[in-house]
Structure 1
Amino acid sequence: MSRTASNNDADGNVVQGSNYRFTLITDRLIRLEYASSGVFEDRSTQLVANRSFEPVDYEVERNRNGHEIEIETKFFHLYYDGGRFASSNLHIDAKYQYTLHDSIWYFGEHVSGNLGGTNATLDLVDGSTPIEDGIMSRDGYAFLDDSDSFAIEDNHFVHRNPEEADGYFFAYGRNYRRELSDYYRLSGKTPIIPRYALGNWWSRYYRYTQQEYLDLMGRFDKENVPISVTMIDMDWHRTDDVPARFGSTWTGYSWNSKLFPDHRDFLKELKRQHRHVSLNTHPAGGIRAFEDSYPAVARDLGLDVEKEEPAIFDMDDPSFRKAYFDDVHHPMEKEGVDFWWLDWQQGSSRSKDKVEPLWNLNHYHFLDNQKEHDGEGIILSRFAGPGSHRYPVGFSGDTVITWASLNFQPYFTVTATNIGYTWWSHDIGGHIWGSFDPALSLRWLQLGVFSPINRLHSSDNPFSGKEPWKYRLDVHECMNAYLRLRNRLVPYLDSANVETHDKDRALIEPMYYRYQDNEESYLFRNQYFFGSELMVAPITTPQVPQLNVGFVDAWLPEGKWMDIFTDLVYQGDHEGVTRPMASSTNLDGQFKTGETQIRLGRSLENMPVFAKLGAIVPLATDPMQRADELPTELDIQVYGNEDNEYVMYEHMNRSIAKTTIRVRDGAVSAALEDEDGIVPEERRLHFKLHGFTIGDRNEFTLGDGQKFEGKPNEDGRQAERARGQLLGLLQGAELPYEEKREVLKKVDDDLTTPVNLVTYAQTITNPDLRSMVIEYASLIM
Structure 2
Amino acid sequence: MSLADYHVPEFSPVADEAATVETDSCRFTVLAPRLIRLEHDPGGEFEDRPSQAIWYRDQPVPEFSVARTDGTLEIETEHLYLRYDLGAGFTSESLAITLTELGATWHYGDSEDNLGGTTRTLDGVDGQTDLEPGLLSRDGWTVLEDTDRLVFEDGWVTPRDAHEDYEDLYFFGFGHDYLGALRAYTDIAGDVPMIPRWALGNWWSRYWEYSQDELRELMEQFREEEVPLSVCVLDMDWHVVDNSNHSGWTGWTWNRELFPEPEGFLESLDEMGLRSTLNIHPADGVHSHEDAYPDIAEHVGIDPSRGKPVEFDASDPQFLRGYFEHVIGPLEEDGVDFWWIDWQQWRESPEMAGLDPLWALNHLHALDRTRDGRRPFVLSRWADVGNHRYPIGFSGDTIVSWDSLAFQPYLTGSASNVQFGWWSHDVGGHFGGTGDPHEFGELYARWTQFGAFSPINRIHTSKMPYVDKRPWQYDGEVGDALEDALVRRHELIPYLYTMVRRNHARSEPLIQPLYYHHPEADVAYHRPNQYYFGSELLAAPHVRERGDDTHLSRRPVWLPDGEWYDFTSGERYEGGFHTRYGDLSDVPVYAKAGAIVPLDGEPAFGDTEAPETLRVLAFPGADNTFDLYEDDGVTCASRDGDFATTELRQEWHGDRLFFDIGQSQGQLGHVPDGRTYEICFRGVRDDLDVTVDGAEYTRTYDDETATLTVTVDGIDADEAVSVSLDGDGTNVRADADWRLPQVRTLLRHFSIPAGSKPPLEEHAAAFLRGDRITLDWLGNFAAVLSDRQLRAIAETLVDAGAERIDYAGDDRLFFWNDSRRTDITHQFVRYDRSGVPTNREGESRHGTLPEYDWIPLSKMEAYDWRFSLNYGTFVTVSHGTRDESTIDI
Q: TM-score, normalised by structure 2?
A: 0.80
Q: Where do 1:520-531 residues align within 5 Å?
A: 520-531=523-534
Deviation at 1:493, TM superposition (A): 0.3
Deviation at 1:602, TM superposition (A): 1.1
Show CA shifts across 1:127-167 (max 9, x none).
11121111111111110100111122465323435251001
Query: Quick one: distance in 1 between partners of 2:230 and 2:666?
Result: 25
Q: Give the aligned partner of residue 361 of structure 1.
A: 361
Which of structures 1 and 2 has the larger relative contact order (alpha carbons within 8 angstroms, sep 6+)? Answer: 1
Query: Quick one: distance in 2 between partners of 1:734 and 1:567?
Result: 28
Whether 1:71 and 2:65 are equivalent positions in the alignment is: no
Query: Quick one: distance in 1 between partners of 2:605 and 2:223?
Result: 12
The farther-off stretch of 150-159 and 377-386 is 150-159
Q: Give the aligned partner of residue 157 of structure 2.
A: 157
C-alpha distance 522-762 of structure 1, shift in aligned 2 (>3 A)? farther
Deviation at 1:645, TM superposition (A): 1.3
Deviation at 1:640, TM superposition (A): 2.4
Matched letter for residue 83 of structure 2:
Y
Query: Quick one: distance in 2 between partners of 1:220 and 1:16?
Result: 64
C-alpha distance 510-662 of structure 1, shift in aligned 2 (>3 A)? same
Q: Where do 1:174-573 residues align within 5 Å?
A: 174-240=176-242, 242-243=243-244, 246-350=245-349, 353=353, 355-372=355-372, 374-436=373-435, 437-572=440-575
Matched letter for residue 663 of structure 1:
Q
Query: Quick one: distance in 2 between partners of 1:516 and 1:285?
Result: 47
Q: Give the aligned partner of residue 843 of structure 2.
A: none
Deviation at 1:96, TM superposition (A): 5.2
Match of 2:709 among 695, 699, 709: 699
Query: Quick one: distance in 2 between partners of 1:707 and 1:719?
Result: 26
C-alpha distance 651-227 of structure 1, shift in aligned 2 (>3 A)? same
Whether 1:684 and 2:685 are equivalent positions in the alignment is: no
Q: Give the aligned partner of residue 5 of structure 2.
A: none
Query: Quick one: distance in 2 between partners of 1:676 and 1:385?
Result: 39
Whether the 8 Å contact between 1:198 and 1:627 is mirrored in structure 2 is: no
Matched letter for residue 230 of structure 1:
C
Show CA shifts across 1:394-428 (max 9, x none).
11111111111111111111011111111111111
Whether the 8 Å contact between 2:127 and 2:407 is mirrored in structure 1 is: yes
Query: Quick one: distance in 2 between partners of 1:757 and 1:488?
Result: 44
The farther-off stretch of 553-562 and 622-631 is 622-631
The farther-off stretch of 355-364 and 765-774 is 765-774
Match of 2:602 among 618, 622, 625: 622
C-alpha distance 136-760 of structure 1, shift in aligned 2 (>3 A)? farther
Structure 2 SS opposite 1:12: helix
Match of 1:92 among 87, 97, 112: 97
Whether the 8 Å contact between 1:206 and 1:233 is mirrored in structure 2 is: yes
The farther-off stretch of 562-571 and 348-357 is 348-357
Whether the 8 Å contact between 1:197 and 1:229 is mirrored in structure 2 is: yes
The farther-off stretch of 403-412 and 756-765 is 756-765
Whether the 8 Å contact between 2:16 and 2:59 is mirrored in structure 1 is: no
Whether the 8 Å contact between 1:40 and 1:161 is mirrored in structure 2 is: no
C-alpha distance 710-720 of structure 1, shift in aligned 2 (>3 A)? closer
Matched letter for residue 327 of structure 1:
H
Matched letter for residue 76 of structure 1:
L
Whether the 8 Å contact between 2:83 and 2:97 is mirrored in structure 1 is: yes
Whether 1:773 and 2:793 are equivalent positions in the alignment is: yes
Whether the 8 Å contact between 2:579 and 2:796 is mirrored in structure 1 is: no
Q: Where do 1:160-175 residues align within 5 Å?
A: 160=160, 162=162, 164-175=166-177
The farther-off stretch of 330-339 and 340-349 is 340-349
Whether 1:669 and 2:674 are equivalent positions in the alignment is: no
The farther-off stretch of 623-632 and 191-200 is 623-632
Matched letter for residue 689 of structure 2:
G
C-alpha distance 717-778 of structure 1, shift in aligned 2 (>3 A)? farther
Show CA shifts across 1:192-223 (max 9, x none).
00000001011111111112211211221121
Query: Quick one: distance in 1 between partners of 2:630 and 2:123?
Result: 35
Whether the 8 Å contact between 2:195 and 2:500 is mirrored in structure 1 is: yes
Matched letter for residue 577 of structure 2:
Q
Query: Quick one: distance in 2 between partners of 1:710 and 1:150?
Result: 60
Q: Give the aligned partner of residue 59 of structure 1.
A: 65
C-alpha distance 12-716 of structure 1, shift in aligned 2 (>3 A)? closer
Structure 1 SS opposite 2:669: coil
Query: Quick one: distance in 1 between partners of 2:333 and 2:414?
Result: 38
The farther-off stretch of 735-744 and 654-663 is 735-744
What is the alpha-carbon root mean square deviation over aligned residues?
A: 2.3
The farther-off stretch of 304-313 and 10-19 is 10-19
Matched letter for residue 658 of structure 2:
A
Matched letter for residue 152 of structure 2:
I
Show CA shifts across 1:483-517 (max 9, x none).
00001100000000011101111111110111111
Q: TM-score, normalised by structure 1?
A: 0.90
Q: Give the aligned partner of residue 12 of structure 2.
A: none
Match of 2:618 among 610, 617, 638: 638
Whether the 8 Å contact between 1:616 and 1:644 is mirrored in structure 2 is: yes
Query: Quick one: distance in 1 between partners of 2:59 and 2:675?
Result: 41
Structure 1 SS opposite 2:472: helix
Q: Where do 1:140-151 residues align within 5 Å?
A: 140-151=140-151
Deviation at 1:349, TM superposition (A): 1.2
Deviation at 1:433, TM superposition (A): 1.2
Whether 1:605 and 2:585 are equivalent positions in the alignment is: yes
C-alpha distance 599-764 of structure 1, shift in aligned 2 (>3 A)? farther
C-alpha distance 249-560 of structure 1, shift in aligned 2 (>3 A)? same
Q: Give the aligned partner of residue 581 of structure 1.
A: none
Deviation at 1:313, TM superposition (A): 0.7
Query: Quick one: distance in 1 between partners of 2:459 and 2:359?
Result: 26
C-alpha distance 763-718 of structure 1, shift in aligned 2 (>3 A)? farther
C-alpha distance 716-106 of structure 1, shift in aligned 2 (>3 A)? closer
Whether the 8 Å contact between 1:633 and 1:685 is mirrored in structure 2 is: yes
C-alpha distance 641-103 of structure 1, shift in aligned 2 (>3 A)? closer
C-alpha distance 754-773 of structure 1, shift in aligned 2 (>3 A)? farther
Q: Point out where structure 2 has 5 or more consecutive residues left out of the alignment.
A: 1-14, 691-698, 700-707, 800-818, 820-889
Q: Give the aligned partner of residue 20 of structure 2.
A: 14
Query: Quick one: distance in 2 between partners of 1:509 and 1:562?
Result: 19
Q: Give the aligned partner of residue 104 of structure 2.
A: 103
Whether the 8 Å contact between 2:273 and 2:606 is mirrored in structure 1 is: yes
Whether the 8 Å contact between 2:183 and 2:507 is mirrored in structure 1 is: yes
Matched letter for residue 359 of structure 1:
W
Structure 2 SS opposite 1:545: coil
Query: Quick one: distance in 1 between partners of 2:138 and 2:298?
Result: 57
State the aligned residue count.
738
The farther-off stretch of 749-758 and 647-656 is 749-758
C-alpha distance 182-763 of structure 1, shift in aligned 2 (>3 A)? farther
Whether the 8 Å contact between 1:527 and 1:535 is mirrored in structure 2 is: yes
C-alpha distance 28-307 of structure 1, shift in aligned 2 (>3 A)? same
Percent identity (aligned)? 37
Whether the 8 Å contact between 1:548 and 1:604 is mirrored in structure 2 is: no
